[in-house]
Amino acid sequence: MKLSQRLQYILEQIPDGSRLADIGSDHGLLPVAAVRSGRVPQAVAGEVNDGPLRAAQKQVAEAGLADRITVRKGDGLAVIKAHEVDVITIAGMGGALIASILDQGKDKLASVKQLVLQPNVGEDILRRWLIEHQWVLTGEHIMEEDGKIYEVLTAIPASESPLKQDELYRPWELPGSSLVLTRDWLMQLGPVLVKKPNDIFFRKWQLEIRKLQDVLAQVSRSEQESAQHKQEQLRIQIEQLEEVLACLPKDKP
């Protein structure tokens, strides 16, 4: 069984010896790989939909790991008990949905030492949730696979982190620019990613600029008064994003 690059990276963020819960486990590939590799002794695979649930059950049975991986049907963190796991992985959903899952299952997080989260969109929403609920980012990773760009966020409880939120999100004056990356900017771009941006990071935000330019072109065709205000907002957003990308350090070939 070969994991995708994305799932392999998530697997590598799980500390050895952890008790794992993979929420929205789909085919159960991640928990099977985690147990089979010896990284975790036991795992829970949670899935709310019948089709993926059956696929996960089949995957676990065929791997001969039914005694070490429990496949459970349920919504979000409802599939685990308090103090049952140390690490929670949630991948392949929107950031708002992941934040909602964590929020609804807050009572299950007391014993959790690490979250490994891979939102498909809405990374800023998830970063905001982590700040508000006392989780500190220890790592951010951006990758491209099959033409899609993914970010993986790893976080630990603030009580366990030597780095404080204020340090992580301290406003940063861009070299060669009068623009200051505020907390809002850092939540959008990623406070870890923005300090060491790679080619994929630049590609993601160049694509975002193109999307904004397309929206601006559509809005420009409108004669409504409200459209003029929207145009100005979009122009400022595009100009600032272009300036940020121009001033960030580039990887040397």
At 248 the three-state DSSP class reads coil
Q: Which residues pair with 93 in a beta bridge?
A: 119
pLDDT tens-digit readout, 124-163: 999 999 999 999 999 999 999 999 999 999 999 999 999 9
Taking the alpha carbons at both ends of the chain, their separation in whole angstroms is 34
pTM for the model = 0.93
pLDDT at 62: 96
Give the mean pLDDT of the chain: 95
Give the integer Cα–Cα distance in Å for 75 and 108: 13
pLDDT tens-digit readout, 179-230: 899 999 999 999 999 999 999 999 999 999 999 999 999 988 887 878 888 9
Give the integer Cα–Cα distance in Å for 17 and 174: 41
What is the Cα gyration radius of the chain?
20
- Give the whole-number percent of the chain exceeding pLDDT 70: 98
Taking residues 21-36, what's their average pLDDT? 96
Is 76's pLDDT higher than 90?
yes
Place of tokens 């809002």: 184
Kindly tell me the sign of the dihedral angle through the C-alpha atoms of 179, 184, 189, 192. Answer: positive
Is 88's pLDDT higher than 50?
yes
How many other CB atoms sit within 10 Å of the CB of residue 217?
Answer: 11
Beta strands in the chain (DSSP E): 19-23, 42-47, 69-73, 87-93, 114-119, 135-145, 148-157, 172-173, 180-181
Give the integer Cα–Cα distance in Å for 96 and 49: 19
Place of tokens 């089709």: 51
133: left (phi over 0), alpha (psi -120 to 50) or beta: alpha
- Spatial neighbors of 144 by CB under 8 A, at least 6 apart, are 150, 200, 203
- Cβ burial of 199 (10 Å; 0-12, 13-18, 19+) is exposed
pLDDT at 209: 97
